Amino acid sequence: MVGRILSSAQAGLLIVIICLAGLLTAFAGSHADRVTGETVNNFLNSYTLIQTATDASFFAVMAVGATIVIISGGIDLSVGSIYALAGVTTAMALRGAAFDSPLQIATVGLAISVGVGLLCGVVNGMMVVGLGVHPFIITLGTMWVLRGIAFVSSNAESIGLPHALTAIAKAPLGLAESLYPVPTLVMLAVTVAGSIYLQRTVMGRHVFAIGGNAEASRFSGLRLGRIQIGVFVISGLTAGIAAFMGASFYGSASCVDATGYELYVIASAVVGGASLSGGKGSAVNAMLGAVLIVLIRQSIRTLHFDQNYEWIIIGCAIIVAVTLDQANARLAARRLARAAGR
């Protein structure tokens, strides 16, 4: 059992996360609980752990969808803007609307946010396939266009959401006060769904196939255009889910929401082992990559480093991860060449 765990694709990430968590536990210090008076570690306590998972959840959900795009050989830089547009649209639609129950509000809000995400994903996918332009260029353009639409439509204002949505997003579910596990549970559910899609469905295997070798996939009869549109639709879907969850949790939506999330999402996917050349990646690893990025941010704050180092460290992590991936690919190719030579 131990050997199987250590040889799994997640082993390296888990070891790094555990070591980093141990470092934080050792250097975070402690404080006296205001209620019980007991000494509590500043990091290793239920509130901080759930808050860390909550911080990771908003871009970990998008990282699952973005990883599927990356596995197919593409990239989506517009996820943060889709998040902002979906959140603003949902808030504007629900502002002044009258519903009989919180469930109706949640259902309509989720449908609007996911619908906007899906529509943006369809537009991205159809432009990539129809125009024959690299996804980097298309999604770079839509990143600005979609955020501009969110800015104009909201007049650059922060728009509040019904309190009923915040009550759902911050439901303690039987835990102590100020512990909100709903975003974490949504993150885990999206990760499981993404993992099943990639590993257990024919469509998921097709995504790996076109990312590994698009020409061979075309000659095998796969409809590359349909698959490429599909991965961008999934990316838009996850961005819509994240937007609904984030706007509900914080109680408002703004056109500047998720600014810079593109870096965190792509970093989570790449640090999680997704290859930018396509054909390699994992939903579970994308989630773990997001958790690791949040722990890096937490370490900078806990150890009282300048927060500007956050960007330096995350940028270095991306470069190291891509370099190691390329080195591993070259090593694997040499091994195959030696085996063929025998």
pLDDT score for 307:
74
**Contact, 261 vs 91, CB < 8 A?**
no
Structure tokens of 313? 């460290």
pLDDT score for 196:
96
pLDDT score for 90:
95
pLDDT at 87 over 90: yes
Q: Model pTM?
A: 0.90
pLDDT score for 284:
92
Nearest to 287 by CA among 157, 198, 168, 219: 198
Beta strands in 150-298 (DSSP E): 159-160, 252-253
**Can you tell me whether residue 276 is helix, strand or coil?**
coil
What is the per-residue pLDDT across 150-159, written as a single tens digit (0 to 9) for each?
A: 999 998 899 9
Higher local confidence (pLDDT), 288 or 332: 288
- Which residues have CB under 8 Å from 218's CB, separation 6+? 224
pLDDT score for 8:
56
Q: Compute the average pLDDT of residues 116-136.
A: 95
Higher local confidence (pLDDT), 96 or 83: 83
Core vs surface per residue 308-339: b (16+ CB within 10 A) or e? eebeeebeebbeebbeebeeeeeeeeeeeeee
Higher local confidence (pLDDT), 316 or 341: 316
pLDDT score for 341:
65
Q: Is 256 exposed, middle or buried (0-12, 13-18, 19+ CB in 10 A)?
A: middle
Report all structural domains of the chain as residue ranges with CATH numbers, in order of start.
53-333 (1.10.3470)
Beta strands in the chain (DSSP E): 30-32, 39-41, 159-160, 252-253
What is the per-residue pLDDT across 243-253, written as a single tens digit (0 to 9) for each?
A: 999 999 999 99
